[in-house]
Amino acid sequence: MQQATDTPLHQLQRGMMRLIRLRPRSLPVVGRLEWAPSANFIVHDENTSTMIGFSPLTTTRAINGSFFWEFRLFDKSPTEPIYTYKSDRMRFSDQETLDSAEIARRVNLPKLFHYCELMAYSPDASPTGVSSVLVAFHHFTSRDGSFEAHLPAAYIWGAARFTRTERFHYENFPAARISATHRPVIITMNPFVRPMNYWIQLVDANGRKHDEGPFRVCGKGVSRWDGHEVTALGLTNPVGVIVRSEHKCNSFVGAVDTHTGHMVNLEHMHPFFSR
């Protein structure tokens, strides 16, 4: 006869303890992780330039590994890049840079505001955990201060909870400052081949909402939104910023000083649960 304390809850607890004891030997091992590409954008004209820097040691600690990286620039076709750079073998501590002036010269375009990708990998060092991207950094600078930012590349595929294929995907920035002296800027990238629509919502400290969109961005494309009319709305700071998109995108939010025209900030937005 079973004792009265042998309830379904106790049976479940004993089963869980057996699983914990057996886990190291009995549960299947996850397959070998693979390196994944990352996304960013490039800006170049007579006033603004971009320097793209890559070094394996910013992401990995595989000091004896060999590394390669490939830079791809996209224009009208989401499947055929207009420019590709492929590195030679790199060591752990090596660093390489690409300059937007040289890229613009090679593609014969006087101005660049384009989506780009970087695929960095190692044939003998595997990713660890969910850090499956060897990150490059884009350094933007301008003669008049209108575009100043230093941005790591954005993950195209993140953790599983960020890649649900549901109706909409969301990114947020919890505390932007918007006023008559600070105009918001949002740059949104579409890392996939299908065009998509996206919407922007601002929510101030009192719960007041302001919506704009939809905006259309092509596959492997980039779009910029400037909140010229938002500064006159009298929103109460801090202001939450939400980008809702038809599929997963990567966005950056920043501000421009309305008196000087100087960019004072540009930061990654943060993905959260789809619905």
The pLDDT of residue 28 is above 80: no
pLDDT confidence band for 11 (50 / 70 / 90):
low
CB count within 10 Å of CB 39 equals 21
Integer Cα distance of 201 and 230 in angstroms? 11
- Tell me the C-alpha distance between 171 and 37, whole Å: 20
Give me the pLDDT at residue 151, please.
93
- Provide the pLDDT for residue 24: 40
Question: Is a pLDDT exceeding 80 seen at residue 163?
Answer: no
CA–CA distances in Å: residue 12 to residues 1, 3, 16, 18: 19, 15, 6, 10
Adjacency order of strands within the sheet including 209-217 = 209-217, 196-203, 239-245, 169-176, 270-272
Residue whose C-alpha is closest to residue 78's, from 245, 192, 188, 187: 192
Mean pLDDT over each residue of the chain, to the nearest integer:
85
pTM of the shown model? 0.82
Q: Is the pLDDT of residue 40 over 90?
A: yes
Does residue 159 have a pLDDT over 80?
A: no
Note the pLDDT of residue 85: 96
